[in-house]
Amino acid sequence: MGTCAAEMSKLSSSEGGRVKGEGKNPEASHPSPFTLHPSPHHAIGLLGGTFDPIHFGHLRMAEELAGWLSLDQVRFIPAAQPPHRSQPRTEIRHRVEMTRIAIEANLKFALDTLEVERDGPSYTVETLISLRAELGNEIPLWLFMGADAFLGLNTWKDWSQLFTLANIAVAHRPGYRLTQADALGDDLRESLQRHQAKDVVPDQAAGQIILRPVTQLDISATAIRTSIREGKSPRYLLPQPVLDYIHLNHLYLHA
């Protein structure tokens, strides 16, 4: 991790800043026709992930949630050391680069390497505390996650503190149902009851949870890695430039 952090801070400083793609958005003053309400509050979406590799399930979910919430920006935050799963075998520099390639054509999407620059496990609560220090407490933050991630939220470090730091937008994901009575632990179900918002308050900085249907794409990074290892094609499950990068760097060929 020390090496990764050093490598990444070199990458960041040579490109001039941690968040890539910020401030270039011509739509900020000319809202897209697909945005129902121009956003006066500069709310930001956050999508953390292992991105091993990033795929259309991530991108489409971010696009739809950002559109529905009228967000100005979505930051993609690759987890250097995801704490709730086995460690990815793909070097963080590759996961960051694939993420950068995947989002570069979307002016609302930005890459944020803050978890790469930090040593230790990539706890979301620490990421949100850093973002609050950077952005202040007024700006609405929306933490995006798929239903699978939300089902395990009560195992995350200091998870109930997350509601004081951000709003949470949960996207439906094929194979995971939040509505089944036994799907959620008692503590998580109580939090959902307390924080679930029927009508979103756009200016509220934190504390709301929404569950949103998004276009259901049954795509996972695991299935993409497996298909490459087995010599099958994952084409059309992820952006072609990301697949080109994977081939160029001989990623996912071995178990």
Site for ligand ATP (CB under 6 A): which residue of 161, 164, 220, 226? Answer: 220
Q: Residues 24-53: x/- map of binding to ligand ATP (CB under 6 A)?
A: -------------------------xxxx-
Nearest to ligand ATP of 30, 235 (CB atom): 235
For the record, the structure tokens of 6 come out as 């050093």
166 belongs to the binding site for ligand ATP (CB under 6 A): no
Site for ligand ATP (CB under 6 A): which residue of 35, 156, 217, 249? Answer: 217
Size of interface with ligand ATP, in residues (CB under 6 A): 18
Nearest to ligand ATP of 41, 79 (CB atom): 79
167 belongs to the binding site for ligand ATP (CB under 6 A): no
Beta bridge pairs of residue 205: none
145 belongs to the binding site for ligand ATP (CB under 6 A): yes
- DSSP code, position 149: H
Nearest to ligand ATP of 50, 70 (CB atom): 50
Site for ligand ATP (CB under 6 A): which residue of 73, 77, 173, 209? Answer: 173
CB of 116 to ligand ATP, least distance (A): 14
61 belongs to the binding site for ligand ATP (CB under 6 A): yes
Beta-carbon-side half-sphere exposure of residue 176 (alpha carbons within 13 Å):
22
146 belongs to the binding site for ligand ATP (CB under 6 A): yes
148 belongs to the binding site for ligand ATP (CB under 6 A): yes
Residue type, 107: L
Q: 182: exposed, middle or buried (C-beta count within 10 Å: 0-12, 13-18, 19+)?
A: exposed
Residue by residue, DSSP assigns 68-109 as HHT-SEEEEEE-SS-TTSPPPSS-HHHHHHHHHHHHTT-TTE
115 belongs to the binding site for ligand ATP (CB under 6 A): no
Among residues 109, 53, 74, 57, which one has the least CA distance to residue 248?
53
Q: Which stretch in 31-39, 142-150, 156-164, 241-249 sits in contact with ligand ATP by CB under 6 A?
A: 142-150
Beta carbons within 10 angstroms of residue 175's beta carbon: 10
- Residue for token pair 């008692």: 186
Q: Are 15 and 124 spatial neighbours (Cβ–Cβ below 8 Å)? A: no
Q: Are 117 and 12 spatial neighbours (Cβ–Cβ below 8 Å)? A: yes
Q: Which residues contact ligand ATP (rule: CB under 6 A)?
A: 49-52, 57-58, 61, 145-146, 148-149, 171, 173, 217, 219-222
